[in-house]
């Protein structure tokens, strides 16, 4: 499963695409956030670990301001159980999308 969540449809965070999906067992849970407005690129993104919110990689400070980063964290906190279940492949993509609460 590979899921990009654009602000216009689900997340409530303008211009930011966030990847949610199953994580390799060698990693903890994490999301990937695109550094490109309104588009996801595997080659230009950074990782935010869950639940401690460590940043792995470089991020576009013009797009991902401190306020935007806090909104992303709020989105994750608000939907943590849903994200965990999706990451662990306990729920379907449809269930994830249908139940995601925007910030």
**Per-residue pLDDT tens listing for the chain (103 residues):** 455 554 435 688 989 999 888 776 667 889 999 999 998 888 999 999 999 999 999 999 999 999 999 999 999 999 999 999 998 889 988 898 889 999 9
Q: Provide the sign of the torsion angle of the four alpha carbons 32, 37, 38, 41, taken in this order.
A: negative
| pLDDT recorded at residue 8 | 37
| pLDDT recorded at residue 76 | 96
46-71 burial string, b = 16+ CB within 10 Å, else e?
bbbebeeeeeeeebbeebbeeebbeb
Contact criterion met (CB below 8 Å) for 32 and 19: yes
């Amino acid at each position: 499963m590979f899921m990009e969540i654009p602000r216009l449809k689900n997340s409530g965070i303008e211009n930011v695409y966030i990847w949610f999906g199953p994580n390799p067992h060698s990693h903890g849970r994490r999301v990937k956030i695109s550094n490109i407005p309104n588009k996801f690129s595997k080659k230009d993104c950074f990782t935010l670990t869950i639940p401690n919110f460590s940043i792995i990689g470089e991020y576009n400070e013009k797009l991902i301001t401190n306020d935007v980063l806090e909104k992303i964290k709020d989105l994750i906190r608000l939907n943590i159980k849903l994200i965990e279940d999706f990451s662990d492949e306990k729920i379907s993509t449809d269930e994830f999308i249908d139940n995601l609460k925007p910030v």
